[in-house]
Structure 1
């Protein structure tokens, strides 16, 4: 199969179910008189007037900046702590009870606490994202470091590969498949926590806009905001896959070679 038909087939598989669901929704909701469940045609009709360039700058852009800041900090913090904990048995034994306790606390519960401590600033909203998204990265990094090949560990020890060289060429490389799994999970959590952080004490953002539409009984506009959040999630997922493919190119190549060998 040549490259173009393969790409078209993948695109058809990826878009097939969403298109079927939208078409089904369109015809199922046509002529709906329910105030809270307007026809899909009405929701699409309000899109141009609702999501103008000015609103995109005032609401979508701040949300994206908070999302990227919180997600980036969560990934960096999760990898740093995960490498330290996963590579040291004593540290792992000391921190495991605390990590299990903190992980069991639902991040949304901490939002009122953060507001009391930090107020309603952007820093609070970013911290909300960090507290929710750090755990998948941290725990997967710990498991990735712990699951490193013992033969390669002994090889590094024998040849005295230490410090930054060992971290860069062996530890992070060996743990990178697990790290990317955690980073993928953290991305979806970050979007959820971004919306939760914007529901309280803010004056802009996607979460704030959706709740304001709901309070003002602008139901089609509210649904259009939900669509924007969904489209944002899809776009970020596609972007993440492209980055993952580049970061783990060696890993996918090794697996493909292994399958070909069998």
Structure 2
């Protein structure tokens, strides 16, 4: 019985350790050139990059475009790496992958006049033990990406602590979360980033109405320790492309 108990305890501890494993999200935003087809980029993602990342063990790569007609057009690529080391090694593994090299030939050999984007903006986001891994939503037709900027690191620490009490409010309000984390590199620092998923904009709007009227949210916003911990909110509505894995 002692051995059985010890085995069960070990399995339980290991299971908890796996569940608590955090991820690093690489969020790329490709700013597209005017009057230039993006087919080269889409084919690269679909036929070369995403399959190669999957072979590396990276699952659920998301590809999105903005809802509406904002200019310049942008494509969002979300890559959930296992950790920062996986992120660091990913590009080297790509160029060691013969299948990738062959599939990506048209993209990798494209000249300045053929490549469909002006630049790539990249952010790295570390998940937290409170929300350690990306969750693939069901029946999602619209995604909301939110970036909360703080005026300095102390204010961001306050917002991160506040957010620990917000997960249950999002769930109650019908605003399923896809990922959440603290930005460790990129634009808008210091900041945190998260993504919500809904069937459509109406459901999202209804969810936010429930959120701001939730008694737990009203209690949080009344607490002095959490006042003034944000300086700006960036919100973008996204729709998944057909080959997106999220």
Larger radius of gyration: 1
For normalisation by structure 2, the TM-score amounts to: 0.23
Q: Which has the higher contact order (CA 8 A, sep 6+)?
A: 2
For normalisation by structure 1, the TM-score amounts to: 0.22
* Bigger proportion of residues as strand: 2
* Bigger proportion of residues as helix: 1
